[in-house]
Amino acid sequence: MIGDKREQGVPMMQELAARGWVCVAINYRLSPKATWPDHVVDCKLALAWVREHIADYGGDPSFLAVSGGSAGGHLSALVALTPNEPEWQPGFEDADTSVDACIPFYGVHDVTGDPESSGIHGPGLVDLLQRRVMKITVEEDRNSFERASPDRRVSETAPPMYVIQGANDTLVPTQVARRFVERLGAVSGAPVAYLELPCAQHAFDILLSIRSRHTCLGAVRFLEGIRQRSSP
């Protein structure tokens, strides 16, 4: 519902760019004007554009990774776990929207209100999603909420993932990330890494600090390791 591509991910993108990576920051439509799944459709459309055009900017379309924080963490994980889903690719159904790696920061990985995962947010989060984002209730269409939850979309074909979470996050409790990593690791055939940072609050990486610096370096090493691993 809020945010702009100029606000998050800058320290990590600067580190990646310094190492020769080409980074693309995107915007997507925001609620309440936008209604789910507008947000994920926009992300997939951007990904399709990147695959088609990134070589013109010196990038490598054969290796694409996605990342994001908070809502962006949710969307990046969901994009990574739902490649080439026609329902979320209207007008570009044939585009390849698969990715090779994903690094979600403090994402809301369950939006159903399940008490074993996102339900610990309390009723406020689900109420907000129902009124402003989904514009339907869980009771009316639980399937849409489950399909929008990354921890319900895990599979053995999931790409490598590095999930990052702050232990002191008051918006996305640690149990949300732990449950997602547990479910993902149980089925995925790719590497699954999890970093839980002591004393870190939501959006801890927006401003440059010793903590965000080392977290970014770890994320970059993960991406470089996965890319090297996937190279012929």
Q: What amino acid positions are annotated as catalytic residues?
A: 70, 169, 202
Give me the phi and psi of 69, to 5 degrees please.
-120, 140
Could you give the angle at which helices 71-81 and 38-53 cross, rounded to 10 degrees? 60
Longest dimension (CA), the chain: 48
The sign of the dihedral angle between the CA atoms of 123, 128, 133, 136 is: positive
Which residues on neighbouring strands pair with residue 123, listed in sequence order? none
In the numeric block, the tokens 């997602």 are attached to 180
User: Rounded to 5 degrees, what angle do the CA atoms 129, 130, 135 make?
Assistant: 110
Q: Residue 62 in 3-state DSSP?
A: coil
**What is the DSSP secondary structure assignment for residue 159, as one 8-state letter?**
P
Residues 111 and 148: their CA atoms lie apart, in Å, by 7
Nearest to 114 by CA among 155, 163, 173, 188: 173
